[in-house]
Structure 1
Amino acid sequence: MAKAPQKSSVKPYPEWRKNQPTGPQFGLLSKLNGTWVNWKDGPKGLHTTCMPSPGTSSETIFGVFHFKSQEYREQLTFTQVNAPVRNRAGSNEQFNGVVKYETAIIDNNDDLQHFENGMYLWLGDNTMPWRADSPYQNPRTMFKHTSSKASVEKDGGDPVIGPKELGPQYVPPYSISRSGVIPHGTTIHLMGKVTQNNVLDTAPHIADLWEQQYLAVSPTMGINPQQDLIAGSRKKPKWTKLPREEQEGGGLNSGRAYFESIFNYNKFGAKFPYTVQPNLKLIDANKGLTFKRFDLIELDSRQDTGLQGATVNNVMIERYCRVTRMRHRMWLEEIEVTDKSGKTKVIDQLQYEQIVDFEFMFGSDGGTTQWPHIQVNTLRRIEDIPADEQLPLIKLPEEEEKVETDNLKSCVHYMNHTLD
């Protein structure tokens, strides 16, 4: 006996009509808008960076590298573009919500260390079945677009396609993408989604102590966290106090000898254990805080299956210090703070961790060494920081605008998606 056909959970999108959508959908990205900064006596950012040592090349044997880590402060600005960006794909119409970002980073001496710009895109609510009451589907981001008599005639559809035909409905596998331009010579494209949403009355779990995937030392570097670190303790291992030639596993040729500099580093406000596991800075920044809620966004340039992101390098970076992957986690948090008058209020806090994998030189197993470059920071909106706790704004040394603009008025041109 034949079974009755099963009802599909993949429901067609509503038909696209002129003047739809009326505005962009930003989803969780709507919480980003504004400028986020560090503040006086607050937690600072920290990075760890491994680089080829002077005189070396990509053929140099494993172990000769230059390590640098330092605290930093940042000015991270997000700006919503209030016009939906249309992607036409035949049977499917997608409208992206665009949030531009720009960041500038200076060290403890106020020297510029990094700047970057790019954008986050809200690609749509990728849950199935589609729910009319979803908070991220009004305005909608996805529509179906059925062929019509006019479209068939105008686009030369006959004999391939006729009126009132529709192909499969596309379900976006990711709800968020990030693209960015790094002036060292790398362009990134990360994809992902909201992995924890509206978690109430608890602090986020950042990481376990000495969790390998978040360490500044990778397995290719000859360091084993289970053997070379003290389980459950932030104390520095005794072997880090020995001279390089007395290290286990080959003296000067041992993994411990090569990488004891990371464990013993103590410059620019950076030292153990943060040089080994930077996200401990985020965990420490959250101690004593009262959390009302948080959301977590996770993005990656490399996915287990299907569509991939990218890290694209210019010639020198690709040849001598290749960037192969980037992971990004961002927590959007609501916390309680008490001002000097004793009044309590709820403000927003942004924490992030990004891990960029460099590859250069031989590894301890004969393969290429992977060197994690990690950045972490805890930021708050500038308007939530009392005036006496604010730090000077960061301004890039850009060329001044030379065009006379006194007699020119700005004109906003909205994107016109009403044409067929």
Structure 2
Amino acid sequence: MTSKTPQSSVRPYPELKDNEPTVPQFGVLDKLHGTWVNWKGGPKGLHTTPMPSPGTSSETVFGVFHFKSQQYREQLTFTKVNAPVRNRAGSNEQFNGPVKYETAIIDNNGDLQHFENGMYLWLGDNTMPWEENGQYQNPRTMFSRPSTVETVAEDGGVPVIGPGEQGPQFVPPHSISRSGVIPHGTTIHLTGSVTNFDKEKTPDAPERPEIAKLWEQPYLSISPTMGIDPERDLIPGSLKKPFWTNLPRDEQRDYPGQPEAHQGVNSARAYFLNIFNYDQYGAKFPYTVQPNLLLSEFNEDLNFKSYDLIELDSQHDTGVQGATVNNVMIERYCRVVRMRHRMWLEQIIIQDEAGKDKIIDQLQYEQIVDFEFMFGASGETTQWPHIQVNTLRRLEDIPENERYDAIELPEEEEEEPVTKPKAQVHHMNHKAK
């Protein structure tokens, strides 16, 4: 043993000074700024959506549901707000980097299917001990704030606190958060972090993003609560449809040993048979079962220079959770209980019109929203995954002859034009006082 007291690795962040910082740190979110779209000749987005069937209710036994899947195209715009957002926490202060987002989605017929807006926040990439010249430390996002003679006098600190005191340092468990408003009646809040893969910096990094293995359960549109078993109900390593998908509902059999009452139309396979045989709106097997195959298949022939993976979730194993908050009808009849989001920000190498190598950006995402409605056959709650996947590129990287028309929301216009005052930029006042 040693008589010396070990030095703690948790040391204070740099102390906040007046007018610091004056600009925000966006971290990896800096790469999002701009408009991302689908393009002619490129892949479309695809969603899978289970819904309560007409005539059912929250008291209906599991098994009757309506399934819809379709291709879509999207216009996703990110806008950096160049003003740091200050959060005061006493001994610490945090400055968020805000990036607004707005998306609009239409189907193959041009009909509006979804719109949403919200915000991504860069919370900081701060670990302990913090690094003076860390990757995301200029400008810094975290500061220490000890008490001073002035703050003690102004805030009535005596006898609770005196000058020069400081509490524990807060280390952000996540570097990114996303909040969003969905017009169906749900508000989401997700948190997570980013991982970078660069061939030059990490030669052993995978050649391309590893989206998922074939029939990997967490990414299927059929959850275990629906009675699915990928090893039993799918063909391992094969994209062929299983034989049982060609049988009618009343001839379905799950596996030996199941009670006769759970066979035929009451079997688990009969419940999700329509997902395997779905063929509408540009959506069919195997993508109705595992939508992210569209992402990995498109990437097979691409040359990647680097990519960042952002992973966000409304649920975490420990610590502070995110949230999905529903309005009354959604909460009662089709609860949104969890949302997972993966986004790949990729740099790919293509050839320009002159045959020379050119680096462009590509954005791919997968988001899985868990619905709960009706009761499970075992008395447990059934989860129904609603999945969206898409591959987008920056509008400016797409040749004009490959661009679709812009998507505009059908917003009501003023009957009479209103003269607007001249725009003026107002910066946030983040002085120490």
What TM-score does the superposition give when structure 2 sets the normalisation length? 0.95
Distance 2:420 2:36 in 1: 33
Please give the secondary structure, in 1, of the residue aligned with 2:81.
strand
Q: Retained in 2: the 8 A contact 1:220–1:365? A: no
Identity value in percent: 72
Please give the secondary structure, in 2, of the residue aligned with 1:83.
coil
Cα deviations by residue, 1:251-286 (Å, 9 ceiling, x for unpaired): 110011111100000000000000000000101111
Supply the AA of the counterpart residue of 1:193: S
Supply the AA of the counterpart residue of 1:225: P
Match of 1:24 in 2: 24
Match of 1:349 in 2: 362
| Structure 2: gaps spanning 5 or more residues | 255-262
Q: Retained in 1: the 8 A contact 2:239–2:286? A: yes
Distance 1:87 1:369 in 2: 39
| Correspondence 1:220 to 2:218 | no
Match of 1:258 in 2: 271
Q: Retained in 1: the 8 A contact 2:190–2:314? A: yes
| Structure 1: gaps spanning 5 or more residues | none
Q: Which moved more, 1:185-194 or 1:355-364?
A: 355-364
Q: Retained in 2: the 8 A contact 1:362–1:368? A: yes
Distance 1:102 1:88 in 2: 28
Q: Retained in 1: the 8 A contact 2:126–2:142? A: no
Match of 2:318 in 1: 305
Which residues in structure 2 correspond to 1:232-271 (within 5 Å)?
Answer: 232-249=237-254, 250-271=263-284
Distance 1:116 1:78 in 2: 12
Q: Retained in 2: the 8 A contact 1:264–1:271? A: yes
Q: Retained in 2: the 8 A contact 1:199–1:295? A: no
Q: What RMSD, in angstroms, separates the aligned Cα atoms of the two structures?
A: 1.3
| Correspondence 1:410 to 2:423 | yes
| Correspondence 1:12 to 2:12 | yes
Match of 1:367 in 2: 380
Please give the secondary structure, in 2, of the residue aligned with 1:86.
strand
Shift of 1:3: 3.2
Which residues in structure 2 correspond to 1:271-310 (within 5 Å)?
Answer: 271-310=284-323
Match of 1:210 in 2: 215
Supply the AA of the counterpart residue of 1:147: S
Distance 1:165 1:408 in 2: 48
| Correspondence 1:397 to 2:410 | yes
Shift of 1:415: 0.2
What TM-score does the superposition give when structure 1 sets the normalisation length? 0.98
Supply the AA of the counterpart residue of 1:75: Q
Q: Retained in 2: the 8 A contact 1:62–1:362? A: yes
Q: Retained in 2: the 8 A contact 1:101–1:118? A: yes
Shift of 1:126: 2.8
Match of 1:316 in 2: 329
Cα deviations by residue, 1:22-56 (Å, 9 ceiling, x for unpaired): 21000000000000000001000000000000000
Which residues in structure 2 correspond to 1:13-412 (within 5 Å)?
Answer: 13-198=13-198, 202-249=207-254, 250-401=263-414, 406=419, 408-412=421-425
Please give the secondary structure, in 1, of the residue aligned with 2:24.
coil
Distance 2:338 2:89 in 1: 29
Distance verdict in 2 for CA 1:411–1:403, change over 3 Å: farther
Supply the AA of the counterpart residue of 2:357: T
Supply the AA of the counterpart residue of 1:90: G
Supply the AA of the counterpart residue of 2:375: F
Distance 1:251 1:272 in 2: 22
